[in-house]
Structure formats: C-alpha cells, structure tokens
Amino acid sequence: MTTEWVTSKTFILLAVVVVALGIATLVGFLLTRRENVAIESAVVRRFTQRLRIWWMMCAILVCGFLLHRVGTIILFGLVSFWALREFITMTPTRRGDHRALFWVFFIFTPLQYLLIILSNMPASWITAGREINFYGLYSIMIPVYASLFIPARIAFGGDYKRFLERSAKIQSGLLICVYSLSYAPALLDLSLQHADGQAWSGSNVTLLFFFLLIAQLSGVLQRVWSVLIGSHPIARDINAGRTWEGLVGSVVTTGLLGAALFWATPFAPWEAGVMSMVVACMAFAGTMTMSAIKRDRGLNDTGTLVEGHAGLLDQIDDVCFAAPVFYHLTRFFYSG
C-alpha cells in the first residue's frame, strides 16, 4: 500500500464527483420548477431523493477518509451493522434466534472489521513480532466459522420450527451485509502494482472511491437505459423495471466510464473498463437479489433511514455484491 493516505488524484476524483452531483442537483431543481415537464413527476421526485442520498453518502465517505484508515473501516462497520439490522427486521425471527442474533451483531460483525484493522498493524503490536496472516482469518471467519456456529446456536435454543429457513436467513444477512461489504475497506490494505510489475504510486483511497463510484453509477445507468429503451424485463415478477436492454446498456456505459477514470487506479484503460463491467454485472445481481427478497416478504423498501426514500440496504446492495469480486480480482492480478 502506498505510504500516502491520499494523493492529488484522490482530490481530483472527489472534485469530479462533486461537480457531477452539483450539475445533477441543478437539473433536478429545474425539472421540479417546470409545470409542463414531459417526465413523470414521480420519476423526478425519485431522482431528487436519490440525489440527496448521494450527497449524504459522499459527505459520510469524506468524513471517514478524514478519520484515516481505521476511521474508514469503522465507518463501513457501522454501515454493515445498520444494513444487517434492516435485513433482519425485513425477515422476522423467532425467540429461539435471539441469542444467535446477539452473536451475529455484537461478536461476528465487530470481529470481521477488527481483523481487517489488524491486518495492517505492526506485528510487534499484536503478537510480539510473530507474523499473522489476517487475510486468511477474515476471508473465512464468517463463511466458515460463523456459518457453522449460527445453526448450532439456534439448535441449542430448542426451537426446531422452520429451523433451516431461520438459519439460512441469518446466515444470508451476515454474508451479504457484513462479510461481502467488508471487502470494500479491505481494499485499503492491498499493496498494488501495475500489470507490468511496476509499483503503483497512487492511493488506495482513490481506488476505493473509484469502486464505490462505479458501483453506484452502474445502478443509475441500469434504470436510465431501462426507462429509455427497455422493453424486455429480465424477471417481471421480481423487478419489472430492470430489463435486458438496461443491463446491457449499463454494462457497456459503465465500462466506458471506468476506462475514462483509469488514472485513478492501477489498471490500464481497457483493464479499468473490464473491471467496471464486472462491477456492473455484480451490482445488477445484488439489485435483483434484494428485489427478490423484498418481494418474498411483501415489502417495497428495506428500511426508513432517510424519510421518503428506501432503506440503507437498498442503497448498498450493489456494493455488497460487487465488493468481494472486485477485491479478489484486484488482489489476484495487481497485488504486489
């Protein structure tokens, strides 16, 4: 990892995002002022609501960056905690699950992020100089140890009704909201190089910002292309607004935007484009998966974090699904 926490490219990318949000906000303001606007008022209202969410997310992210590495990881830990709360609230549990949920919220969730924090600490602070591979711990702690512990702890409660459903529900929430999302701040600890073996002089914060920006843009572009040219829904009963045209348009457009922002990453332009297309595909998978869960529960949104808009989990489902894939591809091909 570079010795510089942020570089000039970090501020340039932040400036690009702020300018883009400013222009979008101005457009939204003008649309709301027009009485004979051709676009449906509900679409305009949703657009302005989403803009407020993006401004808030941008501000929170900047605050996390100002708190440096540990502060950023803790910020993502809090986001995971809240997202998991929304997930569990959306999928009601029984009394026999409460002790297992205590372990999930107050043991496994903090432990996952603590292991990520420790992964870049001096070994002498932890084990008197002994080297520990914390990646080997946090990469398997939830999918192995937590996944085995949860059904066993529920079984100890003595309630066997819908046992498999209850266990799978809690395991899925922990996997999506905590384990998968934790790979976003884990990007901060990668020692990166270009594909030709030369060390990358950029900041890992910029790479994290690039990933979050691409994941969020892909979701916007999915909706835009689906509205403009979409006519073939992928799964009408799950999300009629997501079409094949929207998916293809989003993947292609996101790839082009990612290639244009390659300077913020250790990737070459075509590599940044391919990585962005992969993120777009995984982000779409996250959106559809969460839509299926909500339809199964008879819900429209996952929470009420912001009045008048969907829950936090609705805003980060694309990031949750894309983060581990982006992390492992980056680690495999570009880690030094």
Residue 126 is encoded by which pair of tokens? 């932890």
CA separation for the pair 190, 240 (Å, rounded): 39
- At 306, which amino acid appears? V
Can you spell out the DSSP letters for 82-134? HHHHHHHHHS---GGGHHHHHHIIIIIHHHHHHHHHHTTS-HHHHHTT----H
Can you spell out the DSSP letters for 156-222? HTT--TTHHHHHHHHHHHHIIIIIITTHHHHGGG--BB-TTSPBP-S-HHHHHHHHHHHHHHHHHHH
The residue range of the domain holding 73 is 68-116+129-174
Residue at 101 is within a domain: yes
Residue at 265 is within a domain: no
CA separation for the pair 313, 302 (Å, rounded): 6
CA separation for the pair 149, 292 (Å, rounded): 27
pLDDT for 34 equals 63
pLDDT for 74 equals 93
pLDDT for 27 equals 80
Sign of CA dihedral 163, 164, 167, 170: negative
pLDDT for 303 equals 56
Go through the chain and tell me how many residues it has: 336
Residue at 61 is within a domain: no
pLDDT for 40 equals 56
Residue at 151 is within a domain: yes
Residue at 105 is within a domain: yes
Residue at 225 is within a domain: no
Residues facing 243 on adjacent strands: 233
Can you spell out the DSSP letters for 45-76? HHHHHHHHHHHHHHHHHHHHHHTHHHHHHHHH
Residue at 139 is within a domain: yes
Q: What single-letter DSSP state applies at residue 335?
A: B
Number of domains observed in the structure of the chain: 1
Residues of the chain predicted below pLDDT 50: 1-2, 304-309
pLDDT for 333 equals 93
pLDDT for 2 equals 47
Residue 34 is encoded by which pair of tokens? 């027009």
Q: What single-letter DSSP state applies at residue 141?
A: I
Residue at 332 is within a domain: no
